[in-house]
C-alpha cells in the first residue's frame, strides 16, 4: 500500500479525492492546494495525497526519484512508454480506491486528480477502474497507452466527468500532447472538458478558481444526488 498524507473534513467524510503528484515530487507538494481551493466549509471531502514509489528515471541519468513510471525522454508523450511501471502504479492507486470503498466511501463518490505524471495516472486509473467513480481531474497531464484504451476502458466510467487543464507555455508536457489526448478521449465519447491557461508547467490562480468550480459541480451533481 502506498504511503499517503490525509486531510480530513471536520465532519465524517462522505467523499474522497486521491491527488497524484508529478515526477520527482511527493504527496507533500499539493497539500497546500486544500486551503487555496476554498471549498465551502461544510464540504465533507477527504483529501488523500499518496507518495509514488522511488524508481530510476532514464531521462534523469538513472537518478532514483519518486515517479509513477519511468521516462526515457521528453520528445514525445507516446515514445517508449514504461508499460510495466504504468500498470504497477495503476494497481497501487487502485488499492487506494479500494481502501476508500472499504472505509465506506462508494466508488461513485471518489475523485481521482493528478498533476503531470499524476494527471496521466489519473486518466489511466479512472478510465479503467471496474466501478463508477465521481470524476477525473487532469492538470498538465496526458493520456497513457492510448492504443490500449479501447480494449481496457470500463464502460462504467464512460460518462464520468473529466476535466483537462493545461498551460499554453508548458515545455515539459507539451500542450500538443494534451490536446491530442483530449481529442482522442472526445472521439471515444467520454464526458470531457478542456481549458488552457497562459502558464508554464505549474498551476495559476485562474486555474485554481476553475478547479474549485469543477469540484463543487462534481460534488453536487455526482455525489449529493
**Each residue's pLDDT tens digit, 113-171:** 999 999 999 999 999 999 999 999 999 999 999 999 999 999 999 999 999 999 999 99
How far CA 2 is from CA of 16, 26, 75, 182, 204, in Å, comes to 16, 11, 30, 29, 28
Q: How confident is the model at residue 86 (pLDDT cuts 50, 70, 90)?
A: very high
What is the pTM assigned to this prediction? 0.96
Q: Find all residues with CB under 8 Å of 44, minimum gap 6, and list them.
A: 9, 11, 12, 13, 14, 15
Q: Which CATH architecture has domain 4-224?
A: 3-Layer(aba) Sandwich (3.40)
Q: What integer is the mean pLDDT of 96-115?
A: 97
Q: What are phi and psi of 2, to 5 degrees?
A: -65, 145
Domain ranges across the chain: 4-224
Catalytic residue among 16, 89, 116, 140: 116
Where does the pLDDT of residue 183 fall: very low under 50, low under 70, confident under 90, or very high at 90 and above?
A: very high
Is 170 labeled as catalytic in the residue annotation? Answer: yes
**What pLDDT is recorded for position 180?**
94
CA-to-CA distance for 76 and 111, rounded, in angstroms? 28
Residue 223 has pLDDT above 60, yes or no: no
> What mean pLDDT is reported for the chain?
94
Instruction: Report how far residue 11's alpha carbon sits from residue 208's, in angstroms, rounded to the nearest whole number.
Output: 24
Catalytic, 116? Answer: yes
Q: Which of 16, 82, 166, 170 is catalytic?
A: 170
Chain segment 184-198, per-residue pLDDT in tens: 999 999 999 999 999
Pick 74 or 126 by higher pLDDT. 126
* Marked catalytic residue, from 26, 29, 51, 201: 201
pLDDT of residue 221: 79
HSE of 133 in the Cβ direction (CA atoms, 13 Å)?
26
Amino acid at each position: 500500500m502506498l504511503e499517503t498524507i490525509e486531510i480530513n473534513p471536520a465532519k465524517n467524510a462522505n467523499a474522497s479525492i486521491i491527488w497524484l503528484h508529478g515526477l520527482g515530487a511527493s504527496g507533500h507538494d499539493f497539500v497546500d492546494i486544500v486551503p487555496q481551493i476554498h471549498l465551502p466549509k461544510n464540504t465533507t471531502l477527504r483529501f488523500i495525497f499518496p507518495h509514488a514509489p522511488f524508481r530510476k528515471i532514464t531521462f534523469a541519468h538513472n537518478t532514483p526519484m519518486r515517479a509513477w513510471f519511468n521516462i526515457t525522454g521528453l520528445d514525445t508523450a507516446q515514445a517508449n512508454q514504461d508499460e510495466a511501471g504504468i500498470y504497477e502504479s495503476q494497481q497501487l492507486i487502485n488499492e487506494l480506491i479500494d481502501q476508500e470503498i472499504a472505509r465506506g466511501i462508494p466508488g461513485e463518490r471518489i475523485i481521482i486528480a493528478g498533476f503531470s505524471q499524476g494527471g496521466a495516472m489519473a486518466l489511466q486509473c479512472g478510465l479503467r477502474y471496474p466501478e463508477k467513480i465521481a470524476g477525473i481531474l487532469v492538470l498538465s497531464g496526458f493520456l497513457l497507452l492510448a492504443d490500449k484504451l479501447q480494449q481496457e476502458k470500463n464502460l462504467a466510467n464512460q460518462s464520468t466527468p473529466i476535466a483537462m487543464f493545461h498551460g499554453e507555455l508548458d515545455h515539459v508536457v507539451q500542450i500538443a500532447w494534451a490536446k491530442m489526448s483530449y481529442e482522442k478521449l472526445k472521439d471515444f465519447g467520454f464526458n470531457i472538458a478542456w481549458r488552457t491557461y497562459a502558464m508554464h508547467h505549474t498551476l495559476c490562480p485562474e486555474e485554481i478558481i476553475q478547479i474549485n468550480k469543477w469540484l463543487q459541480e462534481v460534488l453536487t451533481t455526482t455525489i449529493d444526488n
